[in-house]
Structure 1
């Protein structure tokens, strides 16, 4: 489990720390080197990286060909980059990943809040769904402008939402920026035994 002290130290200060803690508890990974790759209705399972260099190399290999989620917050690696070489090496640093992921989730959260006209328990749940799929109201949510917090609106998103933490393992699983559950897919591709072959998906 990621230590609370690290989350407090590294989380973006623009979003309430309780929201960040819940966000990471539900969709995050305990492994800063975690790289989740999905393509279409399949999960691609290459050999798990053992160090930061291997993780970054794996990310750069698949960004642009598949959906790649990275690190503690399962940050969407392709967001904000036009070329795989632009993927920063510190994306797999736990603190930097928390900082970037919490800032991006904060934007998603406020997009949902503005759309619903309130920042309540439902806002948090919808923001989690949007983070997992990358889609909110038929738009690529990560690419939307950040509207900032609702003015004069009390944030009650952390009240009466125990089900967010107590979900099943499938609830916690990261998902791709597509409207499907890759963990329910019947096909999985293990690339760890394929040497020298490039993925053409």
Structure 2
């Protein structure tokens, strides 16, 4: 659970605090020094760092040919970096990591929202959020690399993606809960319309 003060001070201001919490809960880690390394879709075990300096050394050692995610928000290390030596310790510093991670996620939300036609309908928002989370995990949305993509700008309606959590008013079908795994299935989207006939599920 993120501290409210950390969110207020460090998170991207375009995201509501509840969205930041939901984002970190879905994809992040409680450990600021957490490192996840995947190569060819397989998880590579790496030693657990004890210090930020150790963490960056592990990242630098694994960045070539692997997908390395770091810190509270599990941001992809190496985006926009030409050489591993450019990676800095602030990559795992909680405030800097949260600032970078939430700014990246806000951009992904805007990319997804633009694809949806920038909807304001409450029914669409949980699906939009789920798709943005899926894009964060995979690095792609509609075949486009979201981390390198241009920011379309604008604002994203964010209200009910998390208000149900805030008020403790979770629908009987659990529409405010995030699916645990990717890929996101249409049935998990939280839309309040019966989609069972479309999906062919019983």
Match of 1:131, SS?
helix
Q: Is the 8 A contact 1:37 1:68 kept in 2?
A: yes
- Which runs of 4 or more aligned residues in structure 1 lie more than 4 Å from their structure 2 counterparts after TM superposition? none
**Cα distance in structure 2, aligned partners of 1:2 and 1:16:** 13
Match of 1:163, SS?
coil
Aligned to 1:123: 128
2:138 corresponds to 1:138: no
**Cα distance in structure 1, aligned partners of 2:46 and 2:92:** 17
Task: Note the C-alpha offset of 1:88.
Answer: 1.8
Aligned to 1:99: 99
Comparing 139-148 with 68-77, which one deviates more in the overlay?
139-148
For structure 1, the 5+ residue unaligned runs are 180-201
**Cα distance in structure 2, aligned partners of 1:144 and 1:41:** 22
**Cα distance in structure 2, aligned partners of 1:49 and 1:38:** 17
Task: Note the C-alpha offset of 1:159.
Answer: 4.7
Q: Which protein, 1 or 2, shows the higher relative CO under an 8 Å CA cutoff with sep ≥ 6?
A: 1
**Cα distance in structure 2, aligned partners of 1:41 and 1:88:** 26
Aligned to 1:191: none
Aligned to 1:20: 20
Q: Is the 8 A contact 2:37 2:45 kept in 1?
A: yes
Q: Is the 8 A contact 2:8 2:17 kept in 1?
A: yes
Q: TM-score, normalised by structure 2?
A: 0.77
Q: Is the 8 A contact 2:74 2:101 kept in 1?
A: yes
**Cα distance in structure 2, aligned partners of 1:67 and 1:154:** 31
Task: Note the C-alpha offset of 1:65.
Answer: 2.0
Aligned to 1:185: none
Match of 2:43, SS?
strand
Match of 2:20, SS?
helix
Aligned to 2:50: 50
Q: Is the 8 A contact 2:19 2:158 kept in 1?
A: no
**Cα distance in structure 2, aligned partners of 1:121 and 1:41:** 27
Alignment of structure 1 residues 154-173 onto 2, 5 Å: 154-156=157-159, 157-159=161-163, 161-164=175-178, 167-168=179-180, 171=181
Q: Is the 8 A contact 2:32 2:94 kept in 1?
A: yes
For structure 2, the 5+ residue unaligned runs are 165-174, 184-202
Q: Is the 8 A contact 2:73 2:97 kept in 1?
A: yes
**Cα distance in structure 2, aligned partners of 1:68 and 1:79:** 10
Query: Cα 1:116–1:62, aligned 2, differ >3 Å: closer, same or farther?
Result: same
Match of 1:69, SS?
strand
Count of residues paired in the alignment = 167
Aligned to 1:39: 39
Aligned to 1:2: 2
Q: Rg larger in 1 or in 2?
A: 2
